[in-house]
C-alpha cells in the first residue's frame, strides 16, 4: 500500500455524508483535535493494544529519518482507552489528510464509561502499509523517538503529550509509559 492513503479513505464510505458519526482517537487525536466536533467523551475499544509501530514520514519524522507514532494491533482481552468525538461526516475529508501516512478508516465499536456503546470510526495502520515499522526492542524505539523530528515537531513531544493525555484519562498503558521513561532517560544522557 502507498504511503498516502487519502484517496483510499475517500472510497471507504461507511456512513451517509450528511450523518453525524463517532470517531475514536487513541494517539494525537486525544489531545490535539484540530477539527470541529459536537461532543467529546472518553471511550475505549476492546481487543486492541496501542503500539508505537507506525512510521511517521510526514508529521513526526522525515522520509530519511521517520519517527514512530501509534497504531492499534489486535490483542484479545485488551482495552485501549482514548477519546471519542461526535463529528459531522464531512470532517473526515480533513482527517483523511492528517492521517494519510498509511492509516485507513475502519469501523469499530466504541464503549463509553456509562456502559453505552456506539459504532464509529478509527484510523488504523496495519502491517501492509508502506510506513509500518513494526515491533522493535524498547531501547531502539526510544532512541528513534528521541532523535526524530518532522514538520509537526519532535517525535518525543508526541510521545510525552500522549503519556500525559493518558494519565489525565486515568488510562494505564504500559507500552507508552515504558517508552516515555526510556526516552526521558535517553535525553538526560545525551545532554
Among this protein's residues, is 99 annotated catalytic?
A: yes
User: Which residue of the set 34, 46, 99, 106 is catalytic?
Assistant: 99
Q: How far apart are CA 162 and CA 183, in angstroms?
A: 13
Q: How far apart are CA 39 and CA 100, in angstroms?
A: 24
Tell me the sheet residues that pair with 79.
46
- The answer to whether 162 touches 30, Cβ cutoff 8 Å, is yes
Q: How far apart are CA 171 and CA 178, in angstroms?
A: 14
Give the single-character DSSP code of 190. -
User: Grid coordinates representing 133?
Assistant: 515499522
**First-last CA distance in the chain:** 39
Q: In the chain, where do the E strands start and end?
A: 20-25, 39-56, 67-88, 104-111, 117-124, 149-150, 153-154
Q: How far apart are CA 44 and CA 132, in angstroms?
A: 23
User: Grid coordinates representing 70?
Assistant: 501509534
Which residues have a catalytic role annotated?
A: 99
Amino acid at each position: 500500500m502507498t504511503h498516502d492513503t487519502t484517496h483510499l479513505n475517500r472510497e471507504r464510505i461507511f456512513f451517509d455524508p450528511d450523518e453525524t458519526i463517532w470517531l475514536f482517537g487513541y494517539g494525537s487525536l486525544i489531545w490535539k483535535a484540530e477539527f470541529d466536533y459536537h461532543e467529546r467523551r472518553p471511550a475505549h475499544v476492546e481487543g486492541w493494544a496501542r503500539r508505537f509501530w507506525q512510521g511517521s514520514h510526514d508529521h513526526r519524522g522525515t522520509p530519511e529519518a521517520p519517527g514512530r507514532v501509534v497504531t492499534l494491533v489486535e490483542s484479545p482481552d485488551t482495552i485501549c482507552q482514548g477519546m471519542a468525538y461526535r463529528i459531522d461526516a464531512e470532517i473526515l475529508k480533513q482527517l483523511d489528510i492528517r492521517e494519510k501516512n498509511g492509516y485507513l478508516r475502519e469501523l469499530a465499536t466504541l464503549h463509553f464509561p456509562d456502559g453505552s456503546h456506539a459504532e464509529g470510526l478509527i484510523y488504523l495502520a496495519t502491517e501492509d502499509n508502506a510506513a509500518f515499522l513494526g515491533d522493535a526492542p524498547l531501547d531502539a524505539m526510544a532512541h528513534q523517538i528521541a532523535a526524530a523530528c518532522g514538520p509537526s515537531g519532535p517525535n518525543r513531544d508526541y510521545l510525552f503529550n500522549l503519556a500525559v493525555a493518558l494519565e489525565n484519562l486515568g488510562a494505564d498503558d504500559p507500552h507508552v509509559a515504558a517508552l516515555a521513561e526510556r526516552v526521558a532517560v535517553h535525553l538526560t544522557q545525551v545532554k
